[in-house]
Chains A and B, each alone.
Chain A
Amino acid sequence: MLVLEREGLGRRIDEICARHGRNRSALLPILQELQEAQGWVSDFAMQEVARHLGIHPVEVYSVVTFYAFLNSERKGRFVLRLCRTISCDMRDKDRVARQLEQELGIAFGQTTADGRFTLEWTNCMGMCDQGPALMVNKQIFTQVSPQGVHTILEACRRIYGLYPERSEDDALVSAGALQVAVESQEAHA
């Protein structure tokens, strides 16, 4: 990481910690905000957060590795999480999974070479009546069909063209844009 980049991130972490409070119970909100902004929580970020909260870096790492939605490894611009729990399984999630793998050319647990997509399994996300469910960053899609996969990925690619990097309000940008893009495509279809 460049020194300048690191300084910038350091300042930002300082600001986030000040806002949430420099105590242990602020750890998750702080990490969630960093995760959202960076797409992962870097080594540097974990150590900075530890320093601000007066805890050991390994404790921050331990927490990050515990929660599925916090990552200590860099992920793709879009993280696709397909539900694999029973109700979605019974709704043929395997077909959706195969479609995802084919379209992206990667297996579950992998990230595309261009860094755009990471494909993962996730456990039940509470959409059991509308499965199969797919989560793209923070946006949840339900009743996803193999054809729907294509639409969603196309929408992601278009967003990538406009916003190649995650930004501070990325959740809003990508959720909003994804929803609009997918809906407009479906309307056309």
Chain B
Amino acid sequence: MSLKDHSSILFRESRPDEGLRKAVGMKRVDIITAVRESGLKGRGGAGFPTGVKWNFAALAQDTVKYVVCNADEGEPGTFKDRVLLSEKADLVLEGMAIAGRAIGAREGIIYLRGEYDFMRRHLEQVIASREAAHLLGESILGLDGFDFTVRVHMGAGAYVCGEETALIESLEGHRGEPRNRPPFPVNTGYLGHPTCVNNVETLALAARVIALGAEAFAKVGPASSTGTKLFSVSGDCARPGVYEFPMGISIEDLLREVGGEEAKAVQVGGASGTCVPRKAFTRRLAFDDASTGGSIIVFGPGRDMLRVARNFMEFFDEESCGQCTPCRSGNRVLLEGIGKLEQGCCSLSHLQELQALGETMQLASKCGLGQSSPNAFLSIVEHFKDEILARQGA
């Protein structure tokens, strides 16, 4: 097990299906209230309050609704959902059933990224055994009318499908191209029905919120970012792996835990996140500070930051869905800019133009992918300008 146990919420020993058993005895509105009062926010990266999302979906008028578990974990440096699904699949499915009861959905779908095909059988086995144990299926835990089934739907190798509307497009058999919003999936989602898309970790945590109570959950971490968070740590550190820490842990504390004290920078939030230089390691990992869906990539003292930036931009150049101009074309232009920087032929004024372009991409792209794709480039240029420009005219 690559998970390191701490003041754990997800990985502490607990009675199986405690949350689900409690939820069966609760009114739907009380489940949503508990999730809302716990302060739980989406763990995929965007940090939308889960209780609010569930409430929207619960209020939407439709006889058919869906709960979708977003297991299209694709952010570079993120692998916590892989660990969670292989080791705590029951908890995730418990959370899905609770979400189903809360919003009034009878169907759940796990959208599992194509790369995780090796987990599919395991998940299907867990689903089957939960059905046998009346933890899924009809009249769950004997509660009349609490019907909820789950199936696994495989992705096919497209990072952008982690964006919830792209994910729904993909479920519907289309290219994974994000939709215009409004309307939002909680109103008009899969096949036009209200759809609640939650990250794997969010669903697991929601189950724990019901089990432990909102108050106990909210006590962990700062007020803006309650509970614990799974961090996927990779790169130049002694002990890479998945860690559960309370939200709000500082970067330097985390680095100490993972054996990455020497780092010159840390990429928080993966390719779409931001690069934090050593001088800012006191920053905290929380929604209102350095926010991350879980990816922590450690860069040791010898790392070439321009190479890092190139790697990220190559990623987006390929993984952009290609639909909107700022993202499709902007990422290519930034990548070309990195080529110029590498060759030492990027003028300072052109670099400024690229930075301005990055800001436009953040503002004008259609979805979160394009809006966050220039983050790494911009933060690396900002913090490592001297290193990058050292090649100019050399």
Contact = CB atoms under 8 A, between A and B. Distances in A.
Most chain B CB within 10 A, of A25, A26, A87, is at A87
Contacts of B173: 23-28, 53, 63
Given A86-B271, A129-B234, A123 B159 contact: yes
B115 A126 contact: yes
A18 B240 CA distance: 46
Contacts of B232: 128-129
Interface string B313-349: 0110011010000000000000000000000000000
Interface in A20-61: 23-29, 31-32, 53
Contacts of A139: 118
B79 A89 contact: no
B155 to A, nearest CB: 8
Contacts of A28: 153-154, 156, 170-171, 173
B73 interface: yes
B361 interface: no
Contacts of B303: 90
Contacts of B235: 86-87, 90, 128
Given A124-B315, A128-B240, A29 B154 contact: yes
B157 A69 contact: yes
Contacts, number: 128
Contacts of B76: 85-87, 123-124, 128
A175 interface: yes
Contact of B172 (A24, A85, A126, A131): A24
Interface string B63-102: 0000000000111111101100000000000000000000
A185 interface: no
Interface in B264-303: 267, 271, 295, 297, 299, 303
A171 B120 CA distance: 12
Most chain B CB within 10 A, of A28, A69, A86, A90, is at A86
* Residues of A in contact with B, size category: 35 or more
Interface residues of B, number: 54
A63 B115 contact: no
B74 A126 contact: yes
A31 B172 CA distance: 13
Contacts of B116: 126
Interface in B140-176: 153-159, 170-176
A126 B156 contact: no
Given A25-B172, A69-B114, A129 B2 contact: yes
Interface string A62-94: 110011111000000000000011110110000
Given A126-B113, A127-B79, A68 B157 contact: yes
B115 A32 contact: no
Given A28-B173, A29-B154, A128-B78, A89 B311 contact: yes
Nearest to B316: A123
A127 B242 CA distance: 11
Given A85-B315, A86-B308, A123-B319, A131 B79 contact: no
A107 interface: no
A60 to B, nearest CB: 9
Contact of A129 (B117, B241, B311): B241
A125 interface: yes
Contacts of A124: 74-78, 159, 271, 315
Contacts of B236: 90
B234 A87 contact: yes
A184 B174 CA distance: 42
B211 interface: no
Interface in A137-161: 138-140
A130 B75 CA distance: 16
25 contacts: A24-B174, A25-B171, A28-B154, A31-B156, A68-B158, A69-B156, A70-B157, A86-B315, A87-B76, A87-B234, A89-B307, A123-B74, A123-B315, A124-B75, A124-B76, A124-B77, A126-B78, A126-B113, A126-B115, A128-B76, A128-B77, A128-B79, A128-B295, A129-B241, A138-B118
List the 7 closest A-B pairs by CB distance, nearest first: A68-B157, A27-B173, A67-B156, A128-B234, A69-B157, A129-B240, A125-B115
